[in-house]
Amino acid sequence: MTNTPATAESGDEQVWFPIARRNLLRAAGASAVLFGMGAGTAVAQSDEDDEGETPTENGNSGGPEPEDLDPIFGYASAELNPCGGEADEDCFEAFELSVRPSHEVELHIDLPEELFAFTAPGVLTQTEIDEINAAVADGVVDASELTNPDFEVTVTLPSGETEETEESEETEESEETEETSDEEQTLTLTILEIAQLLAETTAFHYEPAGLTVAPGDVVLYSAETPDHGVSAYHERHGRQNRVPDGVGPISSPLVPVGGYWLYKFETPGVYDFYCPPHQIFGMVSRVVVTDGDVPELSIEETGRPPEETNIFPLFLQGLDPNLPSSAAVLDSEALTPENIVDEGSVSWETVVEEYRGGD
Ligand SMILES: [Cu+2]
């Protein structure tokens, strides 16, 4: 993972929407489970579960047991994720057979660090920002779209950022980074290079963004970068209901980097999820649970819909990588239940390419 600046606090206000009576009745069924435990704790099951535990097929011990996967809160762990980073596909085997995941969704931030240095106020003129944004909008940067693509822009890096550059000096002499007599670090990029970095920015996302699973499948959510969670659009989160009928307000905690969250999907249907800190940047995903047919997307107006604006340009002081809002992601052709079932999984890149090419 890359070293990524912390996100600004969202100005997202907490809005409570009245729960429709019908939904209240439905929610009552979940409340006994919901109020009796915290994230990652075991659901009280029948006594026999506690007896006669059998050794796992591969001899693993530790880690979650089947009853640890709560129907609302799944199972969260700050322990080392066997599938974190560049792990092999057989990493799933590190989990006991009865809770072994068969799919992985990674929680990502893709924001080049060099680009972030150019977002300080006053570094780029408004004209330069507008030109760069226009060149990046379709995702393909062409030098001819810029008046002065080779114009060089130099920024002074905050003193705290010198460490990494020094580290890389021995192996790879950076042409772009120079040390001044005051030991200040500067970084120079051309307008074209800044535009290219902006086009590479795919920001906050789940990978894949769309996933098909079978009822009973366990999905492993891997926190590759900090400050992410997985929450269902649900009336009890004050949101539109975007989970199958009878499914509760599924939610992970914030998953620490290197940790993971397991969730077992049981009820067939379409599930829409958002990352609480990053929904305003379009970080949402869809899981389709099916035995083979294509379930209908059902949306109930029980609360706030997905955000229709992506505020990422505010985060970048006006530079705009032209990324979809939460609403646009969930309305994309790439993430229709039909397409997700057809493809099995749909990458974030596919969603972004559709959006950038869709003007
Ligand atoms: Cu996130």
Asked if residue 83 belongs to a known ligand binding site, the reply is: no
Instruction: Kindly state the percentage of the chain with pLDDT values over 90.
Output: 69
Using CB atoms within 10 Å of the CB of residue 19, give its burial: 0 to 12 exposed, 13 to 18 middle, 19+ buried: middle
Ligand 1 centroid to 285 CA: how many Å?
A: 11
Please state, as a whole number, how many other Cβ atoms lie within 10 Å of the Cβ of residue 47.
Answer: 7
| CA distances from residue 280 to 10, 49, 57, 197, 326 in whole angstroms, order as listed | 8, 42, 43, 22, 7
Q: What is the dihedral of CA 145, 5, 203, 190, to 10 degrees?
A: 10
Distances (CA, A) of 206 to 100, 103, 159, 230, 326: 20, 13, 32, 9, 12
pLDDT digits (tens, 9 = 90+) for 5-16: 333 333 332 222
275 is in an annotated binding site: yes
Q: What kind of architecture, by CATH, is found in domain 57-105+202-357?
A: Sandwich (2.60)
Phi, psi of 330 (to 5 degrees): -75, -15
Report the percentage of the chain scoring pLDDT > 70.
75
pLDDT of residue 164: 45
Tens of pLDDT, residue by residue over 71-96, are 999 999 999 999 999 899 899 999 99
CA of 354 to the centre of ligand 1 (A): 21
Peptide bond connecting 208 to the previous residue in cis, omega within 30 degrees of 0 = yes
Q: Where are the domains of the chain?
A: 9-35+112-200, 57-105+202-357
Ligand 1 centre distance from Cα of residue 257 (Å) = 11
Q: Tell me the one-letter amino acid at 129.
A: I
Average pLDDT over residues 209-227: 97
pLDDT given at position 89: 85
